[in-house]
Amino acid sequence: MTTQITQPSGTDAGATTTVRAAIIVPAYNEQDNLPNLFGELESALAGSPHTYQVIIVDDGSDDDTAALADAYRGPVALDLVRQGVNKGLGEALMAGFRRALDDEDLDVIVTIEADTTCDLGQLDRMVDEVVAGAHVAQGSMHHPDGEMVDVSGFRQLTSRAASVVMRLATGSSVHTFTNLYRGISVPFLRAEFQRHGDRLITEPGFAGVTELLIRFMADGGKVVEVPITLNAHKRVGESKMKVWPTVKAQGRVASKAMIGRLRRRFL
């Protein structure tokens, strides 16, 4: 079965095309998780009506992350972008976007983690929400129907606190801002690149993920939340996120969001 997008207008009205999606996977020292991730992707994509291209962005790993991606010969269409040196998650995302947007026929981008914490059972749903009109389909573990499994109490607390702060700063009712798992409309992303260029994401690290969502919102992007379970049970190794530098960077993002909101309101 193939999912079709119906073109609503123009002389070609009624014509249909297959949905083309790219999955961007920033990966830093993920050699222990990649074999499992490849297996999960193979299962998820085998039954999907969409056409997926996977782009691994190796963020200057010291381990065999790039070598494993390079050596992959399975059924998934897999591409590798090498960052050379470690530049952080925000920069890795930008590199992945640039590679994905080389495909002129691309409809949707989904960003996921390399550590198998994303429920790929929701992958098609992310794409479907975007096809249905969302600019962003945000994976949301803090939604009342979402949850976090096998994540330490401290990490849950910092993650929840960050999202509450972002809600206050933006005035939005979205429950989760910090999660990488999201679908993005490619026409919307292209317009955002035209508008902001290389400054689409200015935070090089984890806060870039939050910054991007807030930028999309400020520019009128329609965000739909997809409740997800973030399950760290299968992850091999510890989280590599450095908590305090990330908290500081998220604080910068929240302050900018608040200032932007006040400007839009009063100027």
Ligand X SMILES: Nc1nc2c(ncn2[C@@H]2O[C@H](COP(=O)(O)OP(=O)(O)OP(=O)(O)O)[C@@H](O)[C@H]2O)c(=O)[nH]1
State both tokens at 209.
């993920």
Decide: residue 248, CB within 10 A, 0-12 exposed, 13-18 middle, 19+ buried: exposed
Q: Which is nearer to ligand X, 196 or 240 (CB)?
A: 240
Q: Which is nearer to Mg ion, 23 or 169 (CB)?
A: 23
Return the amino acid letter for 200.
L
In the window 93-152, what residues touch ligand X (CB under 6 A)? 113-115, 117
Q: Which is nearer to Mg ion, 111 or 117 (CB)?
A: 117
Q: What single DSSP character describes residue 75?
A: S
Only segment of 73-81, 85-93, 193-201, 219-227 that touches ligand X (CB under 6 A): 85-93
Only segment of 26-34, 69-77, 190-198, 257-265 that touches ligand X (CB under 6 A): 26-34
In the window 75-114, what residues touch Mg ion (CB under 5 A)? 113
For helices 153-170 and 207-218, the axis angle rounded to 10 degrees is: 20
Q: Which is nearer to Mg ion, 37 or 68 (CB)?
A: 37
What minimum distance in Å lies between the beta carbon of 124 and Mg ion? 21
51-58/20-27 β-pairing: parallel
Only segment of 8-16, 44-52, 211-219, 235-243 that touches ligand X (CB under 6 A): 235-243
Q: What single DSSP character describes residue 105?
A: T
When binding is defined by CB under 6 A, the residue of 17, 51, 86, 172 that contacts ligand X is 86
What is residue 237's three-state secondary structure? Answer: coil
Cα(41)–Cα(121) distance, integer angstroms: 10
- The residue assigned the tokens 């691309």 is 106
Binding site for ligand X (CB under 6 A): 26-28, 30, 59, 86, 88-89, 92, 113-115, 117, 155, 206, 239-241
